[in-house]
Amino acid sequence: MSIRRNTMWGSGVFIAILLSGCGTTPSTSKDHVSDRPQDESGVVKSLQKQIRERDKRIEELESQLKALKLIDQDLEERRKSSRPPATLMPIK
């Protein structure tokens, strides 16, 4: 068992020395890391623009709906006032 531990320990030391000789291990390149926030900010800006456009369209539609409701109310009032009352007696 002690031979096995010494062999494993020796292998670990060998791997550590081997890796230290290679320099630092390559990490994610800084170009990719720095591009990511720019890409994300572009996506965020695009989504914010879409939200502003959607909100503007909603305001336009709400305004049109209010106008249509006023027209409908006006027509309803005219319809009521143009009908003769049902209780009038016919002229003789």
pLDDT digit string, tens, across residues 26-67: 555 555 555 566 778 999 999 999 999 999 999 999 999 999
- 73 occurs within a structural domain: yes
Between the alpha carbon of residue 69 and those of residues 19, 61, 65, the distances in Å are: 77, 12, 6
State pTM to two decimals: 0.46
- 39 occurs within a structural domain: no
Q: Which domain holds residue 67?
A: 47-79
| Cα distance between residue 77 and residue 21, in whole Å | 92
Split into its structural domains, the chain has a count of 1
- 72 occurs within a structural domain: yes
Q: Answer yes or no: are the C-beta atoms of 24 and 18 closer than 8 Å.
A: no
- 69 occurs within a structural domain: yes
- 35 occurs within a structural domain: no
- 55 occurs within a structural domain: yes
Which are the contacts of 40, defined by CB distance < 8 A and separation ≥ 6?
Answer: none
Other C-beta atoms lying within 10 Å of the C-beta of residue 2: 6
- 60 occurs within a structural domain: yes
